[in-house]
Each structure stands twice: as C-alpha cells, then as structure tokens.
Amino acid sequence: MKVNFSNVNLENIDKYEEKALAAFDTLMGRNGEGNDFLGWIDRPVDYDKDEFERIKKAATRIRENSDVLVSIGIGGSYLGIKAVDVACDSYFNSERKTKIIYAGHQLSGEYLVELLDYLKDKDYSLNVISKSGTTTEPAIAFRVLKEALEEKYGKEEAKNRIFATTDKAKGALKELANAEGYESFIVPDDIGGRFSVISAVGLLPLAVAGINIDEFMAGFADGREKYTNKSMENDAIKYAAVRNMLHEDGKDIEILLNYEPKLKYVAEWWKQLYGESEGKDGKGLFPASVSNTTDLHSMGQMIQDGVRNIFETVIEVENPSKDLTIKEDEQNLDGLNFLAGKTMSYINKQAMEGTAMAHVEGNVPNIRIKIDKINERNLAELFYFFEIAVGVSGYMLGVNPFNQPGVEAYKKAMFKLLGKPGY
C-alpha cells in the first residue's frame, strides 16, 4: 500500500510534525484518554489462537448445514464485516455456499418481515453480536429471529445454530448463551466496536463467507509492522498530520472516494471510524464518501464548484483482478471507437486522473491511497492504516478517539418516547 500526497500543498506540514509525533507517542505509549481500548494495536500478533481455531471449526459447521448465516449486529458489529464481505465477493454468480445476510443494523419492520419470508425455505444459522445483549436494534432482531429459528428446527436443534459473540463473563447475552448452550465467542474488553473486525466479531461471519481469515490477520500484521514506527515517513502519521493541517485551513469535510463499487462499504466502515472517533466537543472533520464515476453525475457538481471546505482521500486499486477490453464497432453510432483496444480499468483510471486534475484545480486537495488489488490481506492493512491514523488524528484534535458519549443521546430520547422504565 502506498500513500501519495502530491496533490496537497505541504508547505506548512512541518508545523504539524511535532504535534503529530507527540500524538503518536500518546497512542503507542497507551497513556492518553481511552487507553483501555487499545487492544487492537497488538491484536494482529497477540490473539487467542485457540479461539481462532474454534472460529474456523464453527464456520465449517455453519457452511455445511446452512444456506444463510444471519449476522445480527449494528455499528462496529456490522460495518467492518459488511465491508470485507462485499469487497471480497463477486458481483454476480457468487460460488459461496453460505450467504451472509445482515439484521439488527436498523429498526425497519418491513426489512425484518421480508427477511423472515426469505428465510422460510432456507437452512440458516444466527450469529448475534452484542457485548451487552441489550442494544435495541440487534436485541429486537435476535428476539424475532430466534423465535423463528426455534419454530423451524425445534429448540434443541436451534441452539446448535445460534452463535453468540459477546462479553466473556457478563451481560444478558452471555447469560442466555450459558443457559441455552449456545457456542460463544468473545467481544474483547479492550477493543471498541469500530475496531473489532479483527476479533471474533468479524472473523466468524467472514470465515463463514469464505474469507481467508489467516490472510486477513496477516494483513493486519503487515499494517502493524508498517505503521507503528515513529517517523513522518510513516504514512499513517503523515495522513493524520495532513488531515489536521487541511482542517485548520478550513477544509472541514473529508470525502473518501473510490472507483470500484466493491469498496462502498469500506467507506461506510471508515465513516463510523472517523465520525465516532473525532466528532466530540464541537471538534472533528466530517467524514463523507462518494463512489465514482457514479457520483460524478450527482455529487460531482457540488465537489467541483460548491463551498470550498472539502478535501478528498482517494482509494485507488492499481490492479483489478478482472478486466474487459473495448472492441471496435463498425457503425460506431455511439462514437466510442476511439476507445477500441483500451481496457475498462485503463478508462476508469483516466477518469480518476482527470477528476483529480479538475478537483485540485478547483481547490479540492487530493490524497491518494493505492492498494495493489482488493483482497483480504490488502483490506486488513488498509483498515490498520486508518485505525492508527485516527488515533493520532484524534489526539492531535484534543479529543478521546476511543469513546462515543454522544451516541447515547438518541437512545435516551428514544427510550423516553417509547416509555422504557427509568426514562
């Protein structure tokens, strides 16, 4: 993975070097706010090997007896899984035996009714992911799906099809798992949800989906080796510094941009990571995303000519695994014969380069993150890069990057409206 800052004016970056390196020391020294949630830093090399093997064995059983695994979770218990699942799947004709379907990530009754209808003639299992077991969205989905599963298979068989990823010792879901005999995996105490795809939270459903979790963990280890050295040559530290420099220059919105549709949910995961980590105390850059060239025909006008408070971080896939060459057409009614002999990836790349040129000229700085191809290992390294960078960036902003106190505000208001006791 390579990061290119050539489309950013780095004239003032030296002013941010001392602050960025100090923030990195705070992160790696585990002496800043939120330091009890830094287990993800060493997780790529320091993880429970026995649980890892249990995950593989459980995934094999699920793949053997289920057409579908319903992954029940929200936020960090959903977005990282979905990001890797979508990125590593083919658009059409997937050869995966077991499909991952998501529930508990919203409160739509229509979605849940349609999901129940879809599952009627399928063999399926459930993986409920919740540290407490009482988070509203996944708790409702699990209550409904558990009832349907028990009606379909009977309680004894259903318990063999329910997998709980939860606290190691306490909480409503852990108590239920113990009482009912569900196989359980651990949500680590020292890893927050938005960082948790490296744990059983992500690894079990991804293994079921056919993701090579050995390669996935190796990618995180690659990231740990590359992005935990104290130097402005460390691209994660430099990215954090550049973000803060641009922010102080009035660039308050960062747009994560891709040219491969498979990366759409990587952007959704990234938005949670940065929004939840930095949006505190009236501070933080606003994380947004677009998918090009699609959004050049919708958001393109705003980005090119709107308020000049944005910059872009572009994820470039240098070597797509599949490609297509445009053929010459004798009639040429569409006027596209000038593209004959060129590949789609080449055309897409020129669209990216042309867009960058136009946007930089329009005062939208561009950071470029290049990955060789979309696979488990490269995605994991990318995730680790963003995680180190958000820790450094958050400390540079003067916030705790590892809590999310504002998330509770909507819950209090919602529970009051719903008449929950105590609210």
**Ordered strands of the 310-317 beta sheet:** 2-7, 366-371, 310-317, 253-258, 286-291
Alpha-carbon gap, residue 192 to 189, rounded angstroms: 8
Radius of gyration of the chain (CA): 23
Active site residue 411: yes
CA 133, 138, 141, 145 dihedral sign is negative
* Phi and psi torsions of 8, nearest 5°: -125, 135
The closest alpha carbon to 183, from 87, 362, 57, 271, belongs to: 57
**DSSP labels, 348-392:** HHHHHHHHHHHHHHTT--EEEEEESS-SHHHHHHHHHHHHHHHHH
Provide the 3-class DSSP secondary structure of residue 5.
Answer: strand
List the catalytic residue out of 57, 373, 411, 412: 411
Cα separation values, 44 from 110, 197, 215, 218, 236, Å:
39, 11, 11, 7, 17
User: Which of 137, 81, 39, 27 has its CA nearest to residue 396?
Assistant: 27
Annotation says 276 is catalytic: yes
Of the candidates 192, 200, 170, 196, the one whose C-alpha atom is nearest the C-alpha of residue 48 is: 200
Residue 406's CB is within 10 A of a number of other CB atoms, namely: 12
Catalytic-role residue among 276, 278, 312, 381: 276
Catalytic residues: 276, 411
